[in-house]
Structure 1
Amino acid sequence: MQIAMIGTGYVGLVSGVCLSDFGHDVICVDRDPRKIEALQAGKVPIYEPGLEQLMARNVEAGRLSFTTELSEAVAGAEAVFIAVGTPTRRGDGHADLSYVMAAAEDVAKALNGFTVVVTKSTVPVGTNRKVKQTIAKTNPDADFEVASNPEFLREGAAIDDFMKPDRVVVGVQSQRAAEVMQDIYRPLYLRDFPIVTTDLESAEMIKYAANAFLATKITFINEIAALCERVGADVKEVAKGMGLDGRIGKLFLHAGPGYGGSCFPKDTSALARIGQDHAVPQNIVETVMRVNDGVKTRMVEKLRDLCDGTFNGKTVAVLGVTFKPNTDDMRDAPSLTIVPALVGGGAKVRVVDPQGKREGEALLPGVNWHDDPYKAANKADLLVILTEWNEFRALDLPKLAKRMATPRMADLRNIYSARDARKAGFEAYESVGRKSMDNNH
């Protein structure tokens, strides 16, 4: 099948590459000529494990190409995916649909023969109907259908998520569109992966409801973690006991410095606004957003306590600043709250992150970047583990402690234990939702 993918951001690029690996002929379109030139040269603009190799294989096979010419890509396509950004609109929390609607107009002008226009971007309920209206108004003679096909890709595991999904959600208005979508995802049908075919509005809502629920699980366990610290319980044991209940499940019950990334902050905000617009306030979601902001603030105070009440004049080594491991994405990462608080409080901050520097240099001014955690810890007053990269899971703790001016650790991902830290020579160790070391700092 001939497919055009409009947008080569995270979702568009991963989806386009994976669809080409299904055997489809995919043309990825982007207005940015520098991005297209880089992709044509085999350079991937994002960090996603395995993506560069998969892209190269399908380009070599002749199934995948890149262009800035939208009209040429759309004219021969049987399906056109819109995978452009829907950032939070400044000032009101709504999803900004300007890129989606602009893409819909451009696609409308280029349609030639029956085409299914598929919205891959995360969009509020009712957007696909607006896309349909926009296309029909721009090109009254167009023969087309619209479909909603939200993505559920986890950064760092996106290829597996696309190739072996928990489910594929497809919203359509006709059997004709459903059959085209079935052809697109035939490799998954043949392997019995669940395909949920529903109406447009339900497909749109599934995406928001799923992300809001996951954000709620994270925020719930972070609130429980704060209580555990006060009453002497261990949140890791609590989460384990909860997660063994099949009705709850063990995923997304890891206490930490709060959720971030490209999806949860944006989608919870948009869902809250959708509820307000329809006079059905999403009180749980609104509370989750507020509590998550408070979690980040609580982490700052935890670090301040470890620095004897002030960051001024302290040297702090921060391990990890991306919002999660195996990605270079910094969007709404907890580090964007925590690190500026350190710098603003007068600390000298050294940062180590395997992939975070490309975006982080502009987003975290005033920090020094290092490649080696041991060098970053040299003469430092505090070590902070902020992102649980594998590189930070097996550190030589005695070596770190010896290098530091005052061996103190804030393990905000609960990788280590107070016992291990004490044994290694740390005089103070703080984690999230667990008992801390006895210390007099």
Structure 2
Amino acid sequence: MSHPPTLHSPLKVAVVGTGYVGLGTAALLAYFGHQVVGLDIDQDKVAMLRRGELPIYEPGLGELMAVCGDRLRWTDDYASAIPDADVIFICVGTPPLPGGQPDLRYLAAAAQDVARNLNGKMQVVVNKSTVPVGTGDWVTRIIEEHAPDYKAHQYNVVSNPEFLREGTALFDSLYPDRLVLGGNNEHGVARLLELYAPLIEQDFEAPAHVPRPAGYTRPEVVATSLSSAEMIKYAANAFLALKISFANEIAGLCERVDADIEEVVRGIGSDTRIGRQFLSAGAGWGGSCFGKDTSALISTGEEYGYDMPILRAAVTINLRQRQLIVAKLQKHLHRLQGKRVAVLGMAFKPNTDDLRDAPAHDTIARLNELGATVVAHDPVAMERARREWGHLKYVEAESAGAALVGADAVILMTEWKQYAELDWNEAVKTMRQPVVIDARNVLRGGLPGGTLERIGRRGQSQPQPQSGPALHLKPEATK
């Protein structure tokens, strides 16, 4: 079993919010040896965490929390968490409003409750939620207004954005590319450098289930202003969204000129100035970050009379990509009224149960509108879907194979490893019509006796000679 480093001066930390970011932050800092209390106003979530249960699915997180022991506790009471804390992280949600701007109500409420419970010593309030440029200054004003006996430089606000990928959050937390710390004075940033010393120096013993990658040394520390740190987070996510939309736009042209998007992105991604990551054609991006953050940047530009046409185009292409999936289905089935369609994958990506802005949601909704009967399956997200997707009409399947039985078509929406390893040549024999729409370009090879439609790649509807398993997982699909 791995053990945390022995710190010369462990700090007391409070983490407000127990979502994907808050839970990961709390577990990471407790693993490093700090005394951490996680706070959430949802008493049911706090009760779950006290029982050792997780309200989210994230591989390896439960094991890391178990190692932390009594260095990690949970509460719903600000008064028991904030006064003694040296560092307070705010990790609450900032969901998008209809106009694209982030909803900052939860952040404002958390900042006010934190401020009311500050105790007079030097404390650092860290904003880890994704927020518009200028929010750090706004949080500073909230603290000035609500903190008892406020004095300048007594409480410092720092922006420390996260760059985690759900499904690999522990790896990204322990071995990050960079650590961004934004503050308007040196005191807050200095405290964060002390807090993150084990991470920066990489002198902790790596957890057995998340080993340190070969060749990894240490993260780059980017110390900057509050505004620049906030812009770095938005700009990074917007650029990654652009890469996905670019790959999808090129994929559409590949289909028309008989080129293969997989070969094209391999060729251009080999250029180190471009890189291969996030050049993946498919159903488009989803999740809690790309759509929200890109829309927020566009909205911020509008506030200053500054148009951002490249980002607008990225959003348009992403929406078009979701419509393309059903259009490919219609090409083969024509009318969908009364047809049975299997949807494999509900989470927006594999190794998470996060359903926020998942492309599968829009696909199922469109199939409902067109009169199709939908049978859906996901290895981990179906329970969450029962709570969050009650407005959609679909039948749950107990397995991927069961979903295909009697189906007129199947759409592979999430690149779960289980789906790629399915014996598709046998599975399609149980279908009424063996039409497979691979919306993530996971499957390789031909599909004897069936029709395989992919994104930016030539479909295969005729039997092909096989020298092994007909379909298998492409290596980059697990990244």
TM bucket, shorter chain: over 0.9
Alignment-derived partner of residue 49 in structure 1 = 59
Helix, strand or coil at the partner of 2:103: coil
Please identify runs of 4+ aligned residues in structure 1 that moved more than 4 A. none
The offset of 1:399, in angstroms, is: 1.1
The answer as to whether partners of 2:446 and 2:460 remain within 8 angstroms in 1 is no
Is 2:118–2:148's contact at 8 Å kept on the other side of the alignment? no
Alpha-carbon distance in 1 for matches of 2:148, 2:75: 27
Q: Pairwise mapping of residues 18-167 of structure 1 onto structure 2 (< 5 A)?
A: 18-58=28-68, 60=69, 62-89=70-97, 91-112=98-119, 113-139=121-147, 141-142=149-150, 143-167=154-178
Query: Where does 1:272-291 land on structure 2 (aligned, <5 Å)?
Result: 272-291=298-317
1:11 Cα offset (Å) = 0.8
Query: How big is each residue's C-alpha offset from its partner over 1:337-378, in whole Å with a ceiling of 9 and x where there is no partner?
Result: 111111221211111100121222241632111122122111
Kindly report which structure 2 residues correspond to 1:362-401, keeping only aligned pairs within 5 A, or say none. 362-363=388-389, 365-401=392-428
Which residue is equivalent to 1:14? 24
Q: Aligned to 1:401, what secondary structure does the other structure show? A: helix
Alignment of structure 1 residues 408-419 onto 2, 5 Å: 408-417=435-444, 419=445
Q: 1:320, 1:387 within 8 Å by CA — same for their partners in 2?
A: yes
8 Å CA contact 2:282–2:439 kept in 1: the answer is yes
- Aligned counterpart for 1:402 among listed residues 429, 443, 458: 429
Contact 1:218/1:254 (8 A) holds in 2: yes
Deviations, residues 405-433 of structure 1 (Å, cap 9, x unaligned)? 1111111111223x4213xx21x110000
State the Cα distance separating 1:126 from its structure 2 match. 0.2
Q: Give the counterpart letter for 1:131 in structure 2.
A: V
Contact persistence 2:111–2:139 (CA under 8 A): yes
Within the alignment, does 1:197 sit opposite 2:219 as a pair?
no
Pair 1:237-2:237 in alignment: no
Paired residue for 2:205?
none
What amino acid is aligned across from residue 347 of structure 1 in structure 2? A
Q: In the alignment, which of 346, 358, 361 is matched to residue 336 of structure 1?
A: 361
Cα distance in 1 between the residues matched to 2:113 and 2:442: 49
Deviation at 1:306, TM superposition (A): 2.2
Is 1:300 aligned to 2:326, yes or no? Answer: yes
Decide whether the 8 Å contact of 1:256 with 1:432 is kept in 2: yes
From 248, 252, 255, the counterpart of 2:274: 248
Does the residue aligned with 2:367 lie in a helix, a strand or coil? helix
Question: What TM-score do you get using the length of structure 2 for normalisation?
Answer: 0.88
Distance 2:332 2:71 in 1: 55
Query: Is the contact between residue 5 and residue 82 of structure 1 (CA under 8 Å) also seen in structure 2?
Result: yes
Q: C-alpha separation between the residues in 1 aligned to 2:332 and 2:379?
A: 26
Look up the match of 1:434: 457
Q: Secondary structure at the match of 1:196?
A: strand
Work out the number of aligned pairs and report it.
Answer: 431
CA contact (8 A) 1:354 1:371 kept: no
Name the aligned partner's letter for residue 125 of structure 1.
V
Taking the aligned partners of 2:111 and 2:399, their CA distance within structure 1 comes to: 47
**Preserved CA contact (<8 Å) 2:116 2:148:** no
Contact 1:5 1:12 in 2 (8 A): yes
Other structure's SS at 1:261 match: coil
Residue type of the alignment partner of 1:340:
A
Identity of aligned residues (%): 44
Instruction: Give secondary structure in 1 for the equivalent of 2:356.
Output: coil
Match of 2:194 in 1: 183
Asked if residue 3 in structure 1 is aligned to residue 13 in structure 2, the reply is yes
TM-superposed deviation, 1:438: 4.9
Report the Cα offset of residue 297 of structure 1.
0.9
Instruction: Give the letter aligned to residue 438 of structure 2.
Output: D
In structure 2, runs of 5+ residues without a counterpart are 1-10, 203-217, 463-479
Q: Partners in 2 of 1:16 and 1:403 — Cα distance?
A: 47
Return the alpha-carbon distance in structure 1 between the equivalents of residues 395 and 227 of structure 2: 47
Computed over aligned residues only, the root mean square deviation of the Cα atoms, in angstroms, reads 1.2
1:14-49 CA deviation, whole Å, 9 max, x = no partner? 111111111111100000111100000001000000
Kindly provide the CA deviation profile for residues 48-94 of structure 1, in whole angstroms up to 9, marking residues without a partner as x.
00011111221x2x1100001112211000010111111112x3211
Distance in 2 of aligned mates of 1:225 and 1:421 = 21
Q: Is the partner of 1:122 in helix, strand or coil?
A: coil
**What secondary structure does 1:75 align onto?**
coil
1:46 aligned counterpart, secondary structure: coil
**Shift, 1:140, TM fit:** 5.6
Give the corresponding residue for 2:472: none
**CA distances 1:141-197 after superposition (whole Å, capped 9, x unpaired):** 232111000011100000111110011100012221121010111012213321111
Is contact 1:374-1:399 (8 Å) kept?
no
The answer to whether the 8 A contact 2:446-2:461 is kept is: no
CA distance in 1, matches of 2:106, 2:85: 20
Aligned equivalents of 1:411 and 1:57: distance in 2? Answer: 40
Output the CA distance in 2 between the equivalents of 1:93 and 1:172: 26
After superposition, give the CA deviation of every residue in 1:82-128 in whole Å (9 maximum; x if it has no partner).
11111112x32111111111111111111011100000000000000
Alignment pair present for 1:353 and 2:378:
yes
On the 8 A contact 2:376/2:396 being kept in 1, the answer is: yes
Return the letter of the residue paired with 1:26: V
- Cα deviation code 1:182-222 (max 9, x no counterpart): 01110122133211110000000000000000000000000
